[in-house]
Amino acid sequence: MKTNKLQRPEIVRRDELTEPPGHQTSGMRRAQAYAADDRWVGLVRGEPGEWSGWHHHGATDTYFYVLAGHIEFEYDASGGTIAVGPGDYVHVPGQMVHRERTAPGAPAEVVLTRIGPGPAVVNVEAPGS
């Protein structure tokens, strides 16, 4: 059995979150709590009514929990969409090209975890461009 080298819990306070390395995606602000070779954990905020840019997360699977606000999630060239709100959990498979829009009237915040190797975010052109 593998033992944990950390001898006590590690705490990252909200005011200690950092901007992750690399490019941000337009329309959203990511704040990093933890990062390692194969995982990333943080907070993402979208401003009211804003679309993010199109992007994917490489080979990483993304899991998020909606803390506040409502989000429309558009994915791939087929025009698929889902709508999520507070209390919803979402899994986004690796390589899935997508973008998000925060509903007008209030910002949205999600707690996000990515698991898998490679870049945390890859910004791309809109599908079919």
Domains of the chain, start order:
36-119 (2.60.120.10)
Residue 15: predicted pLDDT? 94
Report pLDDT digits (tens) over 39-81.
999 999 999 999 999 999 899 999 999 999 999 999 976 788 9
Q: Which segment, 5-9, 17-21, 27-31, 68-72, is predicted with the most confidence on average?
A: 68-72
* Residues forming a β-bridge with 111: 43, 65
What are the pLDDT digits (tens) for 70-102? 999 999 767 889 999 999 999 999 999 999 999
Residue 2's pLDDT is 55
> Can you give the pLDDT at residue 128?
76
Task: Identify the band that residue 6 occupies on the pLDDT scale cut at 50, 70 and 90.
Answer: low
Percent of the chain with pLDDT strictly greater than 90: 64
12 vs 76, more confident? 12
> Buried b vs exposed e over 38-77: b needs ≥16 C-beta within 10 Å?
eebbbbbbbeeeeebbbbbbeebebbbebeebbbebbbee
Interacting residues of 13 by C-beta distance below 8 A, sequence separation 6+: none
Strand order in the sheet with 55-56: 80-84, 71-75, 98-102, 55-56, 122-123
pLDDT of residue 4: 62
